[in-house]
Amino acid sequence: MLKDKIGMVLGVANKRSIAWACAEKCIEQGARLAFTYQGERLERNLTKLTADMDDTLVIPCDVTNQEEVDTAFETVATKYRKLDFLIHSIAFAPREALEGSYLDTSREAFLTALEISAYSLPQVARAAAPLMKDGGSIVTMSYYGAEKVVENYNVMGVAKAALESSTRYLASDLGPTGIRVNAISAGPINTLSARGVKNMSGFLKHVEERSPLRRNVEVTEVGNTALFLVSGLSSGITGETIYVDCGFNIMGI
Ligand code: 0WD
């Protein structure tokens, strides 16, 4: 399905990362991938994970460092000469902003969360677009807290709202050049980032009890949806936020 396609995957921290599940699905379908990481600690994880992969790149790309972002895309351009898809799976907010009241969010925490979790999407889309000469697909990861109040999710919910809105604006800007932009709103999954949100186990239990499918989503199900969105199977879809949450978001009382 993705033979001869080149993808870039941002946000693999370890093998539990949503980005890694997406990457595995794309590789199964024949894609070649460039992975980016933030900081040396994560470089080691990625180098191990990708050790037996062919024709891959593992490059630094901390989105708060514009020079590093520029160099990452130059490296991809030099090696592959093109890009077909990009999976953006990064987010960050200071831990103290992910508990207590949203009311108490500091200016610094707000700006950091919005910069890394939301601004990074237009930032990397701008760098990716010139490489997507035959059109392309950009996929980002959101969460229900963008739309409804989720205890402790706080500023990250506000950042995800900006991310989902950015998805629509970018889809409109890039659509004429054949580039699609979509978000996946995933149900809660126990990853490294998720542990930063207080009472994650409470979220998981709540979804298991209330979602139509009476269970939590598997990370491989998010990977499958990312595969669908980067492949030609979704060619008529852009600017959407697609829920992969066992139906949790449809429930009222
Ligand atoms: O329940 C969940 N796990 C959900 C996650 C439900 C719905 C959505 N998401 C979203 C997250 O908000 C995020 O956008 O999915 C995306 C991926 O999250 P993940 O797979 O749950 O988390 P993780 O494996 O930790 O990957 C996120 C990575 C970072 O990891 P750490 O844990 O070291 O913060 O985002 C990257 C980093 O690799 N990251 C950055 N990348 C580049 N520049 C930066 C940065 N400045 N900061 C964080």
pLDDT score, position 196? 80
pLDDT tens digit sequence for 167-226? 999 999 999 999 999 999 999 999 988 888 888 899 999 999 999 999 999 999 999 999
Candidate of 89, 163, 201 to mutate for ligand 1, largest count of ligand atoms within 8 Å of Cβ: 89
pLDDT score, position 199? 87
Sign of CA dihedral 36, 42, 43, 45: negative
Say whether pLDDT at 81 is over 90. yes
Name the burial class of residue 60, with classes exposed (0-12), middle (13-18) and buried (19+) by CB atoms within 10 angstroms of its CB.
Answer: middle
Classify 135 in phi/psi space as left (phi over 0), alpha (psi -120 to 50) or beta.
left
The gap from C-alpha 16 to its chain's centroid, in whole angstroms, comes to 14
Candidate of 14, 49, 90, 199 to mutate for ligand 1, largest count of ligand atoms within 8 Å of Cβ: 90
Instruction: Label residue 54 by pLDDT band (50, 70, 90).
Output: confident
- Residue 139 and residue 242: Cα distance in Å, rounded? 10
Residue 153 is among the residues annotated as catalytic for this protein: yes
Residue 151, token pair as written in the block: 């205890």
Alpha helices in 129-216 (DSSP H): 154-174, 200-210
Exposure on the CB side of residue 195, measured as CA atoms within 13 A: 5
**Coil/strand/helix, residue 103:** helix
Residue found under tokens 């894609």: 31
In this structure, the number of other CB atoms found within 10 A of the CB of residue 99 comes to 15
In this structure, the number of other CB atoms found within 10 A of the CB of residue 42 comes to 21
Q: Ligand 1, atom 27: nearest CA belongs to which residue?
A: 90
Task: Look at residues 172, 116, 176 and name the one whose alpha carbon lies nearest to residue 141.
Answer: 116
pLDDT score, position 197? 81
Out of 37, 143, 144, 243, which one is annotated catalytic? Answer: 143
Task: Look at residues 9, 17, 13 and name the one whose alpha carbon lies nearest to residue 227.
Answer: 9
Catalogue all structural domains in the chain, each as residue range(s) with its CATH number. 6-244 (3.40.50.720)
